[in-house]
A and B are shown apart, each in its own frame.
Chain A
């Protein structure tokens, strides 16, 4: 097991510089904004006397050299202080934690749903190559990767919510609702989640189905599968025990790496369904030029992606011993 432990430590150490790099990159970009972040966002509120501006800049430390500002920001972020939202004037961390949790709920459900759909479909497609099932699933998954998520979302709203009046389409819960029990609140949120989750899951499932299929096809051509068949093993055993285990390795990578893809999909999906998540929050913060918020969201997103890549690599290293010893 020593190999695995060393590998884990090495892998964690590699992701730290990446996060640092991203924070420096984002910090620089934000401070490159004409007039600096503060003047830029205050410009939206009409004329403000210069003396007053200078005073606020001094109070917020914006008159210090940029590297010092970065170090101060870094010190704050390491102690859990993400700054105060320029617009809402509350600690960014309060906003971000709520929105992050909402986004995670949406993404996790969508990812699980997409795996439930994609893995069996991909397997059937590969095992019964060029059959009707294969052709239909290839066609549908190609549709899925090409359909823009915001458009699928709109069409679903139009058909399911407007025409059939089956499900709610906006927000995370019914506005002004009073719940008699936690179960009722949960069911209300669940009904709000269905449409955005379906949209996200569909596009992600399309991607994963294509991957499972091609990965499975490649494994089925390997010598050890031929051997397994030649020694008279049952087809089910060959497929599930010999082929699937190996075919799922690249799938794990893609599922882990697709967190970024899902987050980007969530940005538009959340806007379409007015879901109070990170994606919608970044769009709102962008409109309001709320820099502490934008900086915080970027770091949270980067952290989520880096963490999921890390977990993916660790799972991979655990499943495939060859990786650890490289």
Chain B
């Protein structure tokens, strides 16, 4: 057993080194990573970076075009758009992280049980997964949010997590199916390891790569989902989010193009960053999905 562990460990190190080398050499990944880092830093230090309080209204300067005073202009209440975009990074990142944590949790549990147990349990779980996947997530999100009359950002991100786990469950399940046939699992079984110990100590650590890639790509998706919901006017009315800024700007495009344009660019860069990172991780970790 110790021998097996050691072999595993050694292979693990060289695999990670190789992955890191591949990751570093890819310029698009570096670009993605820079975007993600910029968003994280902006969100963390929003109060330092933003020139104004994002909720402060300048009544005399409603719909002021971009200028040296307001770099990206002001909205219908004279609030500084740049400051609101900087604070909006917090909401988007938070939505992404919370939703992804939830969907990863559910996806890993469902996928592990399904892949490890097989049989009727696998059948039932996969049918449920199919069902949730059948209704487009934005549709499901709209229906859930409207029925439970929830508009708070925290509820919205939890809901996004609760409805977007099926893809994760499928990836985890297929990893389990292939890993559980390997000889070291056979070895672990033969020395009497319990199912839980095999799942947590042997299989899951070997499935980390596809889970990470899926989580990164789902994060981009969660950000877009929240933005779409806010854009449709069903988001949290009190939170500062890119989607709700865009939604308000949508109606005054003719008069003040900057109100909708800049939050849109912010959403685009955030999604692009996570997509690039996810793509790069997939190539570097050599994951097929």
Q: Which residues of B contact A166 (CB under 8 A)?
A: none
Q: Which of B40-48, B99-107, B260-268 contacts A (4 or more CB under 8 A)?
A: B260-268
Q: Which residues of A contact B149 (CB under 8 A)?
A: 33-34
Q: Are A267 and B138 in contact (CB under 8 A)?
A: yes
Cβ-neighbour of B275 out of A142, A151, A263 (below 8 A): A142
The reply to whether the CB of A145 lies closer than 8 angstroms to some CB of chain B is yes
Q: Are A301 and B135 in contact (CB under 8 A)?
A: yes
Q: Are A18 and B147 in contact (CB under 8 A)?
A: no
Q: Are B136 and A264 in contact (CB under 8 A)?
A: yes
Q: For chain A residues 248-286, which have a beta carbon within 8 Å of chain B?
A: 260-261, 263-264, 267-268, 271-272, 282-283, 286
Cβ-neighbour of A301 out of B131, B139, B234 (below 8 A): B139
Q: Which of A19-27, A67-75, A84-92, A236-244 contacts B (4 or more CB under 8 A)?
A: A19-27
Q: Flag B124-142 by CB within 8 Å of A: 1 or 0 each.
A: 0001101101111111001
Nearest Cβ on chain A to B275's Cβ, whole angstroms: 5
Closest residue on chain B to residue A259 by CB atoms: B136
Nearest Cβ on chain A to B181's Cβ, whole angstroms: 18
Q: Which residues of A contact B133 (CB under 8 A)?
A: 260
Q: Which residues of A contact B275 (CB under 8 A)?
A: 142, 145-146
Assign chain A's interface to a size class: 35 or more
Nearest Cβ on chain A to B13's Cβ, whole angstroms: 28
Cβ-neighbour of A148 out of B234, B254, B267 (below 8 A): B267
Q: Are B136 and A260 in contact (CB under 8 A)?
A: yes
The answer to whether residues A306 and B134 also contact, given A162-B253, A282-B139 and a CB cut-off of 8 A, is yes
Assign chain B's interface to a size class: 35 or more
Q: Are A267 and B264 in contact (CB under 8 A)?
A: no
Q: Which residues of A contact B279 (CB under 8 A)?
A: 142
Q: Are B260 and A294 in contact (CB under 8 A)?
A: no
Q: Flag B250-264 by CB within 8 Å of A: 1 or 0 each.
A: 100110010011001
The reply to whether the CB of A17 lies closer than 8 angstroms to some CB of chain B is yes
Q: Flag A25-68 by CB within 8 Å of B: 1 or 0 each.
A: 11001101110000000000000000000000000000000000
Nearest Cβ on chain B to A218's Cβ, whole angstroms: 9
B133, B146, B224, B246 interface centre (most CB from chain A within 10 Å): B146
The answer to whether residues A267 and B142 also contact, given A21-B127, A29-B147, A147-B268 and a CB cut-off of 8 A, is yes
Cα separation A150 to B245 with both chains bound (whole Å): 13
Q: Are B260 and A154 in contact (CB under 8 A)?
A: yes
Q: Are B146 and A289 in contact (CB under 8 A)?
A: yes
Given A264-B228, A294-B143, 15 new contacts (CB under 8 A): A33-B147, A147-B268, A148-B228, A148-B231, A154-B246, A154-B249, A260-B135, A263-B136, A267-B136, A267-B228, A282-B142, A289-B146, A298-B135, A302-B134, A305-B136
List the 8 closest A-B pairs by CB distance, nearest first. Answer: A151-B264, A264-B136, A146-B272, A286-B146, A264-B138, A146-B271, A260-B136, A21-B131
Q: What are 12 pairs between A and B in contact, CB < 8 Å?
A: A22-B135, A29-B147, A34-B149, A142-B279, A148-B267, A154-B264, A264-B136, A267-B142, A267-B232, A298-B139, A298-B143, A306-B134
